[in-house]
């Protein structure tokens, strides 16, 4: 019961933060980013082997992309 309540409060704060962004587009992108990270974490809990590999690949791609700038 504690974890679902904690998750609901986290999403409530995320929505409040999204409404306080400079533009509605930034708020929408923030909500989409929070939903994406939550989805990845959910997959990591459901399928630790497969999603762990996917997360490692995504982080590697992000790090390589940042290094090429």
Q: What pTM did the predictor assign?
A: 0.64
Nearest CA to 36 among 16, 51, 22? 51
Nearest CA to 28 among 17, 40, 41, 39? 17
What does the pLDDT profile of the chain (69 residues) look like in tens digits? 887 898 889 999 999 999 999 999 999 999 999 988 888 777 777 777 777 788 778 888 888 888 766
Alpha-carbon distance of 6 to 22, in angstroms, equals: 27
- List the beta strands (DSSP E) in 1-69: none
């Amino acid at each position: 019961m504690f974890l679902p309540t904690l998750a609901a409060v986290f999403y409530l704060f995320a929505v409040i933060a999204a409404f306080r962004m400079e533009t509605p587009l930034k708020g929408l992108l923030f909500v989409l980013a929070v939903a994406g990270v939550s989805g990845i974490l959910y997959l990591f809990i459901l399928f630790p082997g497969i999603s762990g590999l996917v997360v490692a690949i995504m982080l590697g791609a992000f790090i390589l992309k940042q290094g090429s700038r």
